Amino acid sequence: MIILEPGVTIVTGTGTDVGKTIVTAALAATLEAAGRHPVLVKPAQTGLVAGAPGDVHEAARLAGIPADRRHEFVRLPEPLAPTTAARRAGITPPTVAEHATAIAALAEQHPTVLVEGAGGLRVGLDAAGDGLVELAAALGARGHRPRFVVVARPDLGTLNVVRLTCDAIRDNGGTVAGVVIGSWPDEPDLAMTCNRAELAAAAGAPLLAVLPAGLGACTRVDFLERVSRA
């Protein structure tokens, strides 16, 4: 697994359930093992009641990140896009600008911050529907220009959505550090094998890692050992 440069990294995906939390955990575990001590941030968690462990808790568990270096800014009960879930719950969520201010404050104290988005790149985080593209711009305005890691599925159709996602990031002034396949099966089919070979070209960025399926069920020790080989 690649060791990221210091700064803010936003982990996004080509859609929901592509493995963003596992990839965030893998990046964090690699950084932690290198003595870099990253901070994990989930701006908006949906689909969970108060008190239930969320994505940032799972990533921290797998990577061995202590509680003082994990942050969840808002939680919404229904498993919907944050903008929609907040409206249905009658909640005014933090604005993207407020998220950026909080993340920038963390980045002033910690050299490496990993931010896991919700769903895909253009999913809304606040009442205005602004999302990760706007968050990246707001962070840049605060002196913390982030890079993106894009998490993708391996199966048929992934080349198209990877290219669309990476093009959208760059069209809005962002930087793509690379792509990670979030869950690679034990027996990939022909399309998956071909996609693995062609993802970097579609993304215009390196294929950083290919993570095996089933990592979420690992103990922390097993997770670290398997990630080190990815």
- 179, 205 Cβ separation under 8 angstroms: yes
215 DSSP assignment: G
CA 216/CA 194 separation, integer angstroms: 25
| Count of CB atoms situated within 10 Å of the CB of 224 | 20
106 — phi, psi (to 5°)? -65, -40
Amino acid of residue 166: C
Q: Would you state the structure tokens that stand for residue 151, as one six-digit string? A: 């998490």
Residues 6+ apart with CB under 8 A from 103: 8, 41, 43, 113, 115, 135, 139, 144
From 20, 42, 99, 122, active-site residue: 42
Among 215, 156, 206, 205, which residue's Cα sits nearest to residue 182? 215
Q: Is 42 labeled as catalytic in the residue annotation?
A: yes
- 21, 59 Cβ separation under 8 angstroms: yes
Q: Enumerate the active-site residues.
A: 42
